[in-house]
Amino acid sequence: MKILRINMGAAGGPKVSEEPMGQYEGLGGRALTSTLVVKEVPPLCHPLGEDNKLVIAPGLLSGTPAVMSGRISVGCKSPLTGGIKEANSGGQPSQVLAMLGYGAIVLEGKPKDNTLYKVFISKDGVKVTPDNSLRMLGNYDLVEKMKKEYGEKIACISIGPAGEMKMSAASVAFSDMELRPTRHAGRGGVGAVMGSKGVKVIVVSETGTERRTPKDPEKFREANKKFTEGLKKHPVTGEGLPAYGTNVLANVINEAGAYPTKNFLWGRFDGVQKISGETQAQLETSRGGLATHGCHRGCIIQCSGTFVDKDGHYVTKQVEYETVWALGANCCIDDLDVIAQLDRLCDDIGVDTIEMGATIAVAMEAGVAKFGDGQASINLLKEIGKGTPIGRILGNGAAVTGKVFGVERVPVVKGQALPAYDPRGIQGIGVTYATSTQGADHTAGYAITANVLKVGGYVDPLKPEGQVELSRNLQIATAAIDSTGMCLFIAFAVLDQPETFQALIDLLNAFYGLNLTADDVTALGKQILKTERDFNLRAGLTAKHDRLPDFFKKEALAPHNLTFMVKDEELDKVFNW
Amino acid sequence: MKIELRLYASLGQYLPEKKEGNSCIVEVEPGTTIRKLFLRFHIPPEARKIIFLNGIHAQGDEVLKEGDRVGAFPPVAGG
């Protein structure tokens, strides 16, 4: 494997160089992006400046025949949080990039003018070409254009107008198997950093590539078989997720009384049945869409799907739990067709759906629109794509929007909006939101597993006890899994079935000829977190930033009428080990 | 006495009538436990499930009261 560096600010135009992994040997995914960012990016640099770097890294098992191995990490200093960022995505580019032999792409420097560039990577090399005809194209039109230019055996990594305009909620899009820009590295404004480097799209070509060969093919095949069996037999990964997708959680979290409604005012949404996973799956199938679908080649969980309108025309991928919540319940919108349109707009403009849901709700709180007004939401999103003044405000996220409109009730940590679980009803996720190096992030330490779903044990969600330990262990495990290129949904099977966890380790050992143990995996996770924490400290983030907004501690949430109860001193113990 | 029964995801097939959505109001005898209620609707007792009673995790041997809300899920997860 090698590292591809593109210096966008080189005299005479973008300069391409390739080098061996060197000091980054043995690292992939988040381990690679965070280690590189910590080593090479000055923590006090301006996120849109020449000293920031955008690192795009497939995982250790990406490009191999291992199932579930198509995830990719995007790392940088975040323009949203001011700290280190790793945004994770599915889609096809990870597999292709890894098969092309790249452990990472690093975009560095800053172009001298506002020329837009496209990058084409194939078995024959790397071409960086100026192409201003791509300016302000939505991701959908952009990918269509790349298809016409380069054929269909490609995958695309791109930004929409939001990234070009360097908005802090801008995402990086990754095309799926149907070559649609539906998967995103959404959180933390990674799209803005790509925009600041002047790169509109990176096209990777599959032609002539082959899957990477394991050091011990027999052991690898055996481990892959065991791993597959484990995933298939676990009810979550083998039945629930393929049938209903992630939005099956809407009814669960609503029932638990922690489904944030009306800008985190209540824990239950009256309209939940109209936007639930069950309703969505039924709607999709009855209209000729798909309720089961994989976002990358090699996925056997197939949690995705296709959302079509009442005439059977494609609108967007099956809308995810987080997105249905953010653009739905949090804004009091109970219409799946509206939510699907909003999702497609976010994908096209290239913005984080979680941040946008939180932002629109804050704007509704400010009176910019009425809660429940779907058409108003659609119009506000379109303003973002056009780059009007209101659009630029909203495109920079909930914190900026709250500031501009004088709203106190802004649900963010380190400037990043809270996802779809209220910490007052699920205390464990509150610990993760507050303390994660990433800002308010649910996947970073997904306490929902033990707090709500009884996966990997049970910790009462309504009490402060046990939450720090739960969040700590999950944050460590997740940092490690994020480095493998594996989809985090393997965690449901891996946490419950020790033989499936062992199969994952066996996959790594068989591929690389190593002798890793479970302890090594834990050590890797700890190392990544330690390194990220160090960066954040030097970037000016302190323990004072590891806190939830005040209103979570003062205002009780119905139906359980609880506040967030984990004490500050306890939060400060999460990283003690 | 009346209680609200909500059966989600694949457990929806055990709801008493053809329903839009996943909930219904049912009449139960005083002293009925959650487990007994599930047996009445032929929900397989050995099937793993998550049970909520008024939004709080339940084991199944809780005795129901007037106006209680019971929610049950098969093993599911999302993101």
Residues of A in contact with B34 (CB under 8 A): none
More confident residue, A368 or B13: A368
DSSP string, A31-67: HHHHHHHHHHS-TTS-TTSTT--EEEEE-TTTTSS-T
Residue B8 CA to residue A276 CA, distance in Å, equals: 10
Residue position matching structure tokens 């119009």:
A379
Q: B66: how many CB neighbours lie within 10 A of its CB?
A: 9
CB contact under 8 A, B73 and A273: no
Q: What is the pLDDT of residues A200-242, one digit of tens each?
A: 999 999 999 999 999 999 999 999 999 999 999 999 999 989 9
Residues 6+ apart with CB under 8 A from A576: none
A23 part of a folded domain: yes
Domain edges within chain B: 2-73
Nearest-by-Cβ selection for A249 from B23, B57, B78: B78
CB contact under 8 A, A248 and B9: yes
Nearest-by-Cβ selection for B78 from A248, A256, A559: A248
Tokens of B16: 């008493």
Q: A538: how many CB neighbours lie within 10 A of its CB?
A: 14
Which is nearest to A446 in space by CA: A412, A471, A416? A471
Tokens of A67: 């199932």
- Roughly what angle, to the nearest 10 degrees, separates helices A398-405 and A353-365? 10
A121 DSSP β-pair partners? A126, A204
More confident residue, A122 or B46: A122
Q: Is the dihedral of CA B44, B49, B52, B53 positive or negative?
A: positive
Residues 474 to 513 of A: which have CB under 8 A from any B CB?
A: 488-489, 492
> For chain A, what is the total number of helices (H) and then of strands (E)?
25, 17
Phi, psi of B6 (to 5 degrees): -125, 120
Phi, psi of A251 (to 5 degrees): -65, -35
Residues of A in contact with B75 (CB under 8 A): 234-236, 239-240, 453, 455
Residue A195 CA to residue A184 CA, distance in Å, equals: 15
CB contact under 8 A, B8 and A239: no
Residues 322 to 351 of A: which have CB under 8 A from any B CB?
A: 322
- Give the helix/strand (H/E) hosting A255: helix A249-255
Determine the residue of chain A that is closest to B70 in CA distance: A255
- Roughly what angle, to the nearest 10 degrees, separates helices A29-40 and A467-481? 90
CB contact under 8 A, A251 and B73: yes
Q: Does the domain formed by B2-73 have CATH 3.20.20.70?
A: no
Question: Do strands B2-7 and B69-73 pair parallel, antiparallel, or not at all (unpaired)?
Answer: parallel
Q: What is the pLDDT of residues A343-366, one digit of tens each?
A: 999 999 999 999 999 999 999 999
Residue A51 CA to residue A40 CA, distance in Å, equals: 8
Residues of B in contact with A252 (CB under 8 A): 8, 50, 73, 76, 78
E strands present in A294-430 = 304-308, 314-317, 412-413, 416-417
Residues of A in contact with B56 (CB under 8 A): 462, 560
Q: What is the pLDDT of residues A129-140, one digit of tens each?
A: 999 999 999 999
Residue A456: per-residue pLDDT: 87
Range in A381-390, A450-459, B12-21 the model is least confident about? B12-21
CB contact under 8 A, B50 and A453: yes
Contact B13/B47 with Cβ under 8 angstroms?
no
Residue A290: per-residue pLDDT: 87
Q: Is the minimum CB–CB distance between B77 and chain A shorter than 8 Å?
A: yes
Question: Do strands B2-7 and B23-27 pair parallel, antiparallel, or not at all (unpaired)?
Answer: antiparallel
pLDDT at B20 over 70: no
More confident residue, B22 or A120: A120
Nearest-by-Cβ selection for B52 from A234, A255, A273: A255
CATH number of A181's domain: 3.60.9.10
Half-sphere exposure of A238 (CA within 13 A, CB side): 11
Residue A82: per-residue pLDDT: 98
Q: For residue A63, what are the domain limits?
A: 2-205
Question: Do strands A290-293 and A304-308 pair parallel, antiparallel, or not at all (unpaired)?
Answer: antiparallel
The alpha carbon of residue B72 is apart from the nearest alpha carbon of chain A, in Å, by 9
Nearest-by-Cβ selection for B79 from A235, A322, A458: A322
A161 part of a folded domain: yes
Q: Is the minimum CB–CB distance between B45 and chain A shorter than 8 Å?
A: no
What is the percent of chain A with per-residue pLDDT over 90, rounded to a whole number?
98
Tokens of A562: 């609880």
CB contact under 8 A, A489 and B75: no
Contact A422/A461 with Cβ under 8 angstroms?
no
Residues of B in contact with A556 (CB under 8 A): none
Q: What confidence category does residue B19 fall into, taking pLDDT thresholds of 50, 70 and 90?
A: low
**What three-state secondary structure class fits A209?**
coil
A224 part of a folded domain: no
Q: What is the identity of the amino acid at A483?
A: S
Show the CA angle centred on residue A562, arms to residues A559 and A563, nearest 5°: 135
Nearest-by-Cβ selection for A492 from B9, B71, B77: B77
**What three-state secondary structure class fits A308?**
strand
Residue B18: per-residue pLDDT: 61
- Largest Cα–Cα separation, chain B: 38
Residue A410 CA to residue A433 CA, distance in Å, equals: 14
Residue B21 CA to residue B7 CA, distance in Å, equals: 9
Residue A163 CA to residue A527 CA, distance in Å, equals: 31
Residue position matching structure tokens 């720090």:
A468
Taking residues A294-303, report their average pLDDT: 94
Q: What is the pLDDT of residues A76-97, one digit of tens each?
A: 999 999 999 999 999 999 999 9
Taking residues B16-27, report their average pLDDT: 80
pLDDT at B46 over 90: no
CB contact under 8 A, A235 and B6: no
Contact A501/A522 with Cβ under 8 angstroms?
no
pLDDT at A153 over 70: yes
The alpha carbon of residue B40 is apart from the nearest alpha carbon of chain A, in Å, by 22
Taking residues A519-534, report their average pLDDT: 96
Q: What confidence category does residue A298 fall into, taking pLDDT thresholds of 50, 70 and 90?
A: very high
Residue position matching structure tokens 């939005």:
A247
CB contact under 8 A, B8 and A273: no
Helix %, strand %, coil % of chain A (to 5): 45, 15, 40
Residues of A in contact with B8 (CB under 8 A): 248, 251-252, 255, 276, 278
Residue A408: per-residue pLDDT: 97
Residue A131: per-residue pLDDT: 98
Q: Please, is A522 exposed, middle or buried when counting C-beta atoms within 10 Å of its C-beta (0-12, 13-18, 19+)?
A: middle
Tokens of A511: 């591929």
- Where helices occur in A176-216 by DSSP H, the ranges are 190-196
Contact A413/A433 with Cβ under 8 angstroms?
yes
Question: Do strands B50-53 and B56-57 pair parallel, antiparallel, or not at all (unpaired)?
Answer: antiparallel
Q: What is the pLDDT of residues A537-553, one digit of tens each?
A: 999 999 999 999 999 99
Q: Is the dihedral of CA A381, A387, A390, A393 positive or negative?
A: positive
Number of domains composing chain A: 1
Q: What is the pLDDT of residues A263-275, one digit of tens each?
A: 999 999 999 999 9
Q: What is the pLDDT of residues A176-198, one digit of tens each?
A: 999 999 999 999 999 999 999 99
Residue A477: per-residue pLDDT: 94
How confident is the prediction for chain A on average, in pLDDT?
A: 97
Q: What is the identity of the amino acid at A504?
A: L
Taking residues A488-514, report their average pLDDT: 94
Residue A439 CA to residue A82 CA, distance in Å, equals: 10
Which is nearest to A56 in space by CA: A84, A25, A83, A87? A87
